[in-house]
């Protein structure tokens, strides 16, 4: 009988090993490396197929789990992963730490934790744990390297949320890599949200975090082909990797918070960083980024004087980014458009952009440095170079005109200027660089930080980018007819001035994002209109839904208080407004906001129901005192313990002369 029991035990697949058990759809495991390798790669939980089934959860218990080698899961020659959830007990209690003796030997990936998702894989979520890089430095297998590396085939394949990376030093942190196979190449995307990256504090003994990059996005595994460029270029959709609601915390000088190249599509929004961002071009990488949108990010005081952003290709869209003041500070005029391939010092591709290389557009004239004979250069700001075929992309005659649009970005409270840089050295001080290749109102259009006060000021439709309510968009506008005509001889495309209408669109579903909006408004959306022909405005760009749909449904913004209006007439500087009671549940009070430009509220007054009752004041009435003459734009929102602000009420205006005041209701509504 004993021998029969032993035989049955050997023949029947085990449903558990010593460190991992399954109940219903959840595996509960220790974080031991051998245990997780068994689970993901060797099939020791169930035999004959991947042990992880669609919809399962792998829950790693609390503890600090020290690894001497990498975990690679889902590699197609081993096992294909379905959609599942990989989670720790919490960010603070489940930690995966790299051992000082760690070795990448025997792996084709340079990753501490590597998850490979095939086109057939479902959505996979990674959440609630910490990775401790322990200051080790690089994971030396390129191009696929990172402490948490997603190698992805298909759109919306993963979500990484509430994960922290500590002690990053001279290495890539969170990384996305497109498909590693040329056969059946597909676009790839996913979401990183509520993720935190902390670099290691360098010392006089260990100064090894100079090239630390918190987020790295690569569009293609290959370095000699251009598969991503076979797909059409689109903006404001899910054909991109999204990084949102996340944090880069640099404890000392390092590399950029994000880096992207090799045909990547990246959107960076609603993040907080104390260091710069950048993009590789076709200089130190085979190709630059295909798509780059960056908006509504907060950049805290930096660790050293540094540029704000360094674009070696792109960007497509860059707006509402606020760089703080402080010492040391981001350098003024330090949004750099840098083009290395014109200066004779560096080129990853064969040859420089000097008018004789077939990979470039070669529409310019005159020799460097005063001419631009190779313009447009492959992957330079303002131009997109699609592929005719994976191995025959090197033909500049396919180049398409996609000018960059940049507006309402500030450094220390003033407009963030743009440095045009054909030098190999980014701007970090007082800059005198110039460019004949990247030119304003041709390769990029830029705007300031002051909203429209009328339909002709400060933006009049002749140059750059303006913003404000749709009603204040200029009636007339201009295009770049000369460049449009040249682009038509290549792959086409048009350029023209643009206008961001802050009261249009409905893509922003947040009720608490005002801290990322230069105007402090919660839930503000917007649509970018481009001048496509003389005096013709066309909707050009609408950002993708925020929060990203993979975060789940965003709560609806509660309705605004109604009936905001002024009361009576008076002299002097006073202005009294009243409004109807908000229907917000558990209402605590109201926020009254005002400013001297429509839609741009610089001051907020809080009026709680409790204080109004105690002071015998009407809870839905307030008197402003405006000592400085001018027009003041006023709105009101309700708030509760769970809702920071409702939608904003229809704006009213008070015109104060210091001696008399008249009040009228605004024609438009501020949403």
> Can you tell me the mean pLDDT for 238-265?
88
pLDDT greater than 70 at residue 445 = yes
The reported pTM is: 0.80
Question: Each residue of 486-511: pLDDT tens digit?
Answer: 999 988 999 999 999 999 999 999 98
pLDDT greater than 50 at residue 11 = no
Token reading at 174: 């969170």
Contact 128, 162 (CB under 8 A): yes
Looking at residue 573, its pLDDT comes to: 76
Looking at residue 564, its pLDDT comes to: 86
Cis-peptide, bond into residue 369, ω within 30° of zero: yes
pLDDT greater than 80 at residue 181 = no
pLDDT greater than 70 at residue 388 = no
pLDDT greater than 80 at residue 127 = yes
Token reading at 99: 């051992």
Question: Each residue of 346-381: pLDDT tens digit?
Answer: 556 657 787 888 888 888 888 766 778 889 988 899
**503 Cβ partners below 8 Å, 6+ apart?**
469, 470, 526, 599, 668, 669, 670, 671
State the burial class of residue 403 (Cβ atoms within 10 Å of its Cβ: 0-12, 13-18, 19+).
buried
For the chain, what is the mean pLDDT?
Answer: 81
Q: Alpha-carbon torsion 419, 423, 429, 431, what sign?
A: negative
**CA torsion angle 394 396 399 405 (round to 10):** 100
- E strands in 301-424: 309-311, 317-319, 322-323, 335-338, 383-384, 400-401, 404-407, 410-411, 414-415, 418-421
Looking at residue 470, its pLDDT comes to: 96
Domains and CATH numbers, the chain: 2-300 (2.160.20), 565-665 (2.60.40.10)
Question: Each residue of 574-601: pLDDT tens digit?
Answer: 888 888 888 787 888 898 888 887 766 7
> Can you tell me the mean pLDDT for 420-445?
68
Q: How far is CA 539 from the centre of its chain?
A: 22
pLDDT greater than 50 at residue 10 = no
Looking at residue 104, its pLDDT comes to: 78
Q: Alpha-carbon torsion 40, 41, 46, 50, what sign?
A: positive
Percent of the chain with pLDDT over 70: 78
> Can you tell me the mean pLDDT for 289-302?
90
Sheet holding 465-468, edge to edge: 465-468, 498-501, 527-533, 536-541
| Rounded-to-integer distance, Cα 637 and Cα 601, Å | 12
| Rounded-to-integer distance, Cα 116 and Cα 382, Å | 33
pLDDT greater than 80 at residue 538 = yes
> Can you tell me the mean pLDDT for 277-297?
88
Token reading at 449: 């930080």
- 666 pLDDT band, cuts 50/70/90, is very low
pLDDT greater than 60 at residue 294 = yes
Contact 314, 293 (CB under 8 A): no
Question: Each residue of 503-536: pLDDT tens digit?
Answer: 999 999 998 899 999 988 999 999 999 999 999 9
pLDDT greater than 90 at residue 156 = yes
Looking at residue 431, its pLDDT comes to: 45
Q: Alpha-carbon torsion 206, 211, 215, 216, what sign?
A: negative
Looking at residue 8, its pLDDT comes to: 35
Contact 275, 251 (CB under 8 A): no
The closest alpha carbon to 497, from 540, 559, 468, belongs to: 540
Looking at residue 643, its pLDDT comes to: 74
Helix or strand run (H / E) with residue 482: helix 481-488
> Can you tell me the mean pLDDT for 83-100?
93
- 479 pLDDT band, cuts 50/70/90, is very high
| Rounded-to-integer distance, Cα 579 and Cα 559, Å | 14
Looking at residue 533, its pLDDT comes to: 95
Looking at residue 663, its pLDDT comes to: 41
pLDDT greater than 50 at residue 9 = no
Looking at residue 625, its pLDDT comes to: 85
| Rounded-to-integer distance, Cα 307 and Cα 329, Å | 9
> Can you tell me the mean pLDDT for 533-562?
87
Looking at residue 471, its pLDDT comes to: 95
Looking at residue 37, its pLDDT comes to: 86
Question: Each residue of 201-242: pLDDT tens digit?
Answer: 665 444 444 568 899 998 887 667 778 888 889 999 999 999
Least confident span in 1-10, 41-50, 232-241, 387-396? 1-10
- Highest mean pLDDT out of 358-372, 437-451, 609-623: 437-451
3-state SS string over 341-372?
HHCCCCCCCCCCCCCCCCCCCCCCCCCCCCCC
């Amino acid at each position: 009988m004993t021998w029969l029991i032993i035989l049955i035990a050997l023949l029947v697949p085990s449903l558990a090993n010593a460190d991992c058990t399954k109940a219903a759809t959840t595996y509960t495991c220790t974080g031991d490396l051998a245990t997780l390798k068994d689970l993901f790669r060797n099939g020791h939980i169930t035999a004959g197929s991947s042990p992880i089934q669609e919809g399962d959860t792998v829950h790693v218990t609390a503890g600090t789990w020290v690894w001497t080698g990498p975990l690679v899961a889902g590699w197609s020659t081993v096992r294909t992963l379905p959609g599942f959830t990989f989670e720790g007990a919490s960010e603070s209690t489940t930690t995966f730490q790299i051992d000082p003796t760690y070795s990448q030997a025997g792996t084709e990936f340079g990753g501490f934790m590597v998850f490979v998702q095939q086109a057939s894989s479902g959505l996979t979520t990674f959440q609630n744990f910490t990775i401790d890089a322990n200051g080790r430095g690089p994971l030396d297998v390129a191009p696929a390297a990172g402490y948490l590396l997603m190698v992805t085939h298909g759109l919306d394949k993963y979500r990484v949320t509430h994960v922290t990376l500590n002690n990053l030093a001279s290495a890539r942190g969170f990384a996305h890599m497109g498909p590693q196979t040329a056969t059946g190449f597909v676009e790839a995307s996913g979401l990183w949200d509520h993720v935190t990256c902390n670099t290691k504090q360098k010392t006089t003994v260990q100064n090894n975090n100079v090239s630390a990059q918190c987020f790295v996005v690569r569009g293609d595994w290959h370095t000699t082909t251009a598969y991503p460029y076979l797909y059409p270029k689109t903006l404001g959709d899910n054909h991109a990797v999204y990084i949102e609601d996340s944090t880069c915390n640099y404890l000392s000088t390092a590399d950029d918070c994000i880096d992207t190249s090799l045909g990547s599509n990246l959107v960076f929004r609603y993040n907080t960083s104390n260091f710069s961002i950048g993009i590789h071009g076709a200089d130190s990488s085979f190709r630059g980024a295909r798509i780059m949108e960056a908006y509504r990010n907060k950049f805290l005081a930096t660790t050293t004087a540094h540029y704000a952003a360094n674009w070696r290709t792109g960007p497509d869209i860059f707006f509402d980014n606020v760089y703080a003041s402080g010492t040391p500070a981001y350098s003024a005029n330090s949004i750099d458009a840098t083009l290395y391939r014109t200066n004779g010092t560096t080129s990853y591709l064969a040859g420089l952009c000097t008018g004789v290389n077939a990979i470039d557009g070669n529409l310019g004239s005159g020799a460097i440095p005063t001419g631009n004979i190779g313009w447009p250069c492959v992957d330079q700001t303002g131009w997109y170079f699609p592929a005719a075929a994976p191995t025959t992309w090197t033909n500049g005659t396919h180049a398409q005109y996609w000018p960059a649009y940049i507006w309402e970005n500030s450094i220390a409270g003033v407009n963030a200027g743009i440095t045009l840089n054909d030098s190999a050295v980014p701007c970090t001080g007082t800059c005198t660089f110039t460019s004949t290749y990247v030119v304003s109102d041709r390769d990029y259009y830029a705007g300031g930080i002051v909203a429209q006060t009328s339909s002709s000021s400060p933006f009049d439709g002749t140059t750059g980018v303006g913003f404000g309510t749709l009603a204040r968009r200029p009636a007339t506008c201009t295009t770049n007819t000369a460049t449009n005509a040249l682009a038509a001889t290549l792959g086409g495309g048009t350029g023209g001035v643009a206008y961001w209408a802050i009261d249009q669109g409905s893509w922003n579903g947040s009720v608490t994002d005002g801290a990322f909006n230069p105007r402090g408004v919660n839930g503000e959306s917007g649509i970018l209109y481009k001048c496509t022909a003389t005096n013709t405005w066309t909707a050009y760009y609408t950002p993708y839904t925020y929060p990203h749909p993979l975060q789940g449904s965003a709560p609806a913004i509660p309705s605004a208080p109604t009936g905001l209006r002024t009361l009576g007439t008076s002299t002097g500087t006073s202005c009294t407004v009243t409004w109807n009671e908000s229907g917000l549940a558990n209402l605590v009070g109201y926020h009254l906001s005002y400013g001297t430009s429509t839609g741009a509220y610089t001051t907020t007054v809080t009026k709680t129901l409790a204080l109004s009752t105690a002071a015998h004041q009407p809870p839905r009435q307030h008197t402003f005192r405006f000592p400085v003459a001018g027009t003041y734009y006023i709105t009101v929102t309700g708030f509760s313990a769970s809702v920071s602000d409702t939608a904003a009420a229809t704006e009213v205006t008070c015109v104060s002369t210091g001696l008399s005041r008249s009040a009228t209701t605004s024609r438009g509504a501020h949403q």
